[in-house]
Amino acid sequence: MHQPLLMSQAPELLEGGCYNSRVRPPAIVIGTVLWLAACAPVVVPMPLQPFPDVPVPAEWAPYSDDWAIIRTPKITAARLIYFTKSDVETTLANARRLLTNAGWSETRSERFINPEKFPGVWAEFGKGDDVCRLTVIEGTGATHVEYTLARLNPGA
């Protein structure tokens, strides 16, 4: 039967060997894991539709790396970006229909060509004191859809 090795029987391990009686390997591993966990970014997935009155089709893919939502006591501002496989005209028609059905009124729109020479259109919508600007731009692999929203918070 195997007998455990006592440290007094192997003094070379105490002096410059691979054993250090003050540091336990499990403590180093636990400390490293905790340190790495503290440095890792916290990823919170953004919902497909963060505002109930700004509807988006389920087939649009959110591009949450560039999303921003800022809330102050008086105002909420947001930038929401999506990609879709449909063309600019179909995407614009879907977004207009959904926003209008949610109580938004289109106030103006304009077509443009972006610096990369892709066609696009923006449309501005109002709902009370709130403003929503929809920008749809054709892209190489997908159509880029951006909502820029500014609204007064209830009770502000």
pLDDT in tens, 79-98: 999 999 999 999 999 999 99
The reply to whether 73 and 13 lie within a common domain is no
User: Where does the pLDDT of residue 10 fall: very low under 50, low under 70, confident under 90, or very high at 90 and above?
Assistant: low
Same domain, 34 and 94: no
pLDDT tens for residues 134-147? 999 999 999 999 99
133 with 124: CB under 8 angstroms? yes
Please state, rounded to an integer, the average pLDDT across all residues of the chain.
Answer: 81
**Is 101 in the same domain as 135?**
yes
Question: For residue 98, what pLDDT is reported?
Answer: 96
Tell whether 46 is covered by a domain: no
Domain residue limits at 74: 61-152
Same domain, 21 and 93: no
Q: Check whether residue 66 and residue 99 sit in a common domain.
A: yes
The length of the chain in residues reads 156
- Identify the burial level of 134 via C-beta atoms within 10 angstroms of its C-beta, where 0-12 means exposed, 13-18 middle and 19 or more buried: buried
How far from the centroid of its chain's Cα atoms is residue 117's Cα? 27
pLDDT at 3: 57
**With contact defined as beta carbons under 8 Å apart, do 36 and 30 qualify?**
no
Q: Is the pLDDT of residue 156 over 70?
A: no
pLDDT of residue 15: 54
Q: Indicate the pTM of the whole model.
A: 0.68
- Asked if residue 107 is part of any domain, the answer here is yes
Residues 102, 65, single domain; the answer is: yes
Q: How many domains does the chain have?
A: 2
Report pLDDT digits (tens) over 43-64. Answer: 455 566 788 899 999 899 988 7
